Amino acid sequence: MAQVIKMAYLYEDLMNTYGDSGDVKILSYLLKKQGYDTQVDNISIDTADFNALDYDFLFFGGGQDFEQTVVAKDLRRFKATITTYIEAGKPMLAICGGYQLLGDYYETSEGTTIKGLGILPLHTIFKADSRMIGDTEFETEWGTVRAFENHSGRTYFDDPTKLKPLGKMVTGYGNNPEDGVEGMRYKGVIGSYAHGPLLKNVNLAQGITEKILACYRDRTAALTK
Ligand code: GLN
pLDDT of residue 1: 60
Task: Quick: pLDDT tens for 70-98.
Answer: 999 999 999 999 999 999 999 999 999 99
Q: Is the CB of 172 under 6 A from ligand 1?
A: no
Cα(80) to ligand 1 centroid in Å equals: 25
What is the reported pLDDT for 165?
98
Residues 6+ apart with CB under 8 A from 202: 26, 30
Q: Residues with Cβ < 8 Å from 85, sequence gap 6 or more? A: 52, 53, 55, 58, 92
Q: Where are the domains of the chain?
A: 3-223
Which ligand 1 atom minimizes the distance to the CA of 97? Answer: 8
State yes or no: pLDDT of 167 exceeds 70: yes
Question: 3-223: which CATH topology?
Answer: Rossmann fold (3.40.50)
Identify the CA nearest to 216 among candidates 55, 62, 68.
Answer: 55
For residue 172, the tally of other CB atoms under 10 A from its CB is 19
Coil, strand, or helix at residue 56? Answer: coil
For the Cβ of 16 lying below 6 angstroms from any atom of ligand 1, the answer is no
Share of the chain above pLDDT 70, in %: 99
Q: Whole-angstrom Cα distance, residue 95 to residue 16?
A: 10
151 in catalytic set:
no
Sign of dihedral through CA atoms 70, 91, 104, 155?
negative
Closest ligand 1 atom, CA of 18?
9
- For residue 69 and ligand 1, the question of a CB distance below 6 A is answered with no
Q: Is 96 noted as a catalytic residue in this protein?
A: yes
- CB of 130 shorter than 6 A to ligand 1: no
pTM score: 0.96
Determine which one of 96, 123, 151, 215 is catalytic.
Answer: 96
Q: CA nearest 93: which of 131, 47, 60?
A: 60
Q: How confident is the model at residue 127 (pLDDT cuts 50, 70, 90)?
A: confident
Average pLDDT over every residue of 174-196: 97
Average pLDDT, the chain: 95
Distance from chain centroid for Cα 127:
22
| pLDDT at residue 2, rounded to an integer | 74
| Local confidence band at 112 (pLDDT 50, 70, 90 cut-offs) | confident
Instruction: Give, in order, the Cα–Cα distances in Å from 53 to each of 66, 86, 91, 129, 161.
Output: 29, 10, 11, 41, 27
